[in-house]
Amino acid sequence: MTPTVGILYPGYSAEDDYPRAEALLGGPRLPLVHTEMREDAHRVDALLDIGSDDVLAAGAAAIPGPLDAIVWACTSGSFVFGWDGATAQVAALGSAAGVPASSTSFAFVDACAQLGVTRVAVGATYPDDVAERFVAFLGHAGIEVLSLSARGIVTAAEVGTLEPATVLAFAAAADHADAQALLLPDTALHTVGLLDELEAHVGKPVLTANQVSVWQGLRMAGAATPRPGFGALFSTAAIPWT
């Protein structure tokens, strides 16, 4: 059977990265449902609302099955809850969907483990206070953030308009010489189709939100085999999901 990973995506910004990834993968399916976003804002209260259990359960109910796994494809709407809250969030989502579940925040942590990365640079599109919560989340997993560049963009919709040249320049500026990898944590940022170019431009592995979300979903579905065009993360067989 064709591996099928449900994608829950808040609002409208870079959701087209997922059908693009599905086409490039040439096999696994990534059906996507837009979850309710009552306010598009990279602000803590709005993000807590975006990632609430009732919103995610409604999204899970709207995805046509059967599914092998489901991913809450929102970094800020998961790490903003803190480690324990984000853990409870995916547990509730998995219960609602009846399949293994994860979120983009945990996908970043697991992707770092896959690459043996413990020291990173972060290029965040968020305001400083939200970006610092991502740093804290990574720190809980033993990942040291050597540098943080926060662009201060308030809405996901605006992030979704950034052109490839802007993304490449932002990535290069956010890097740190001693970082083992660069992390770009916003699923509103278009990066699928740009991953190999990003890594060539920066000169090291680059982990992006939509990339790690797809990888984590395939990993949960037992289908994260090495594939070209998706950066260093997809270059080797994934650590099995447990």
pLDDT digits (tens, 9 = 90+) for 78-128: 999 999 999 999 999 999 999 999 999 999 999 999 999 999 999 999 999
Residue 164 scores a pLDDT above 80: yes
Q: How far is CA 4 from CA 8, 27, 29, 143, 211, in A?
A: 13, 9, 5, 30, 16
Residue 208: closest CA among 103, 107, 78, 80: 107
User: CA 194, 196, 199, 200: dihedral to nearest 10 degrees?
Assistant: -110
Residue 41 scores a pLDDT above 90: no
pTM of the predicted structure, to 2 decimals: 0.97
Separation of alpha carbons 152 and 78, rounded Å: 19
pLDDT digits (tens, 9 = 90+) for 70-87: 999 999 999 999 999 999
The token duo for 226 is: 């090495």
Q: What is the pLDDT of residue 65?
A: 86
pLDDT digits (tens, 9 = 90+) for 182-203: 999 999 999 999 999 999 999 9
**CATH number of 107-208, picked from 3.40.50.12500, 3.40.50.150, 3.30.70.20, 3.40.605.10:** 3.40.50.12500
Domain ranges of the chain: 5-105+210-234, 107-208
**CATH number of 5-105+210-234, picked from 3.30.70, 1.10.443, 3.40.50, 3.40.720:** 3.40.50
Rg from Cα positions in the chain: 16
Separation of alpha carbons 71 and 219, rounded Å: 11
